[in-house]
Amino acid sequence: MFTNVEDSMQIIANSGDARSDYMEAIRLASVGDLQAASQQMDMAKDKIVEAHRLQTELIQGEFRGDKAELNLLLIHAQDHLMSTLVIRDLSRYLLDLYQKLGEKEKEI
């Protein structure tokens, strides 16, 4: 069994940074700056990919027999990652809605 403090902290840091980027993208879209919102989404992508890669390594380690110590920090890291993935999906949806709203406003 191994401790995974470093991996857990990296998952928390990367997913937390990505979450901030997604939330900023939503804010930018809400004020009509869809180009900046899209760029903010792109900034988040590498961070969430890295967090997901670390999670995948932990899971693959389990399959190889490298049992990770289940602790509150790892649970917190997983919670951070999963909630950020939900925010990512919702931010994609919201940016699409703001774009459509902007198009409708131009028609009026």
Catalytically annotated residues: 76
Annotation: binding site: 79
Annotation: binding site for Mg(2+): 79
**Cα 20 from Cα 101, distance rounded (Å):** 24
Position 62, amino acid:
E
